[in-house]
Amino acid sequence: QKEVEQDPGPLSVPEGAIVSLNCTYSNSAFQYFMWYRQYSRKGPELLMYTYSSGNKEDGRFTAQVDKSSKYISLFIRDSQPSDSATYLCAMISTSGTYKYIFGTGTRLKVLA
């Protein structure tokens, strides 16, 4: 079983829809959570990072962490065709063995 699971998609939505992207993890030592956006043939770009359980909002993006369920989400409101990309979750554990783990990414297509 992988430490971080992420549905590869593709996920297709109409423009303006609310998008929900998710990752689950098995190691309760993960403490810091990130979301990256990667356009085709480009390097991943950091979108959001968070530490505690709860929500963090930045413009149209909301990152949600539920440590009790080992589940993190990224919500995109009013999705645009320019949001079409692959979204990777990432997690850091600094207790015990240091780990920085990436999900495999979910490909999102926003249709105009």
Nearest C-alpha neighbor of 12 from the set 63, 74, 72, 84? 84
State which residue, 52 or 80, has the beta carbon closest to other proteins.
52
State which residue, 49 or 61, has the beta carbon closest to other proteins.
49
What is the nearest approach in angstroms of other proteins to the Cβ of residue 14? 26
Contact call for residues 73 and 21 (beta carbons, < 8 A): yes
CA distance 2 to 33: 16
State which residue, 42 or 77, has the beta carbon closest to other proteins.
42
What is the nearest approach in angstroms of other proteins to the Cβ of residue 11? 15
State which residue, 79 or 89, has the beta carbon closest to other proteins.
89
Element (H, E) at 22: strand 19-25
CA distance 81 to 63: 20
What is the nearest approach in angstroms of other proteins to the Cβ of residue 18? 25
* List of residues contacting other proteins (CB under 8 A): 8, 32, 34, 36, 41-46, 49, 51, 88, 90, 92, 94, 100, 102-105
Dihedral sign, Cα of residue 43, residue 48, residue 51, residue 52: negative
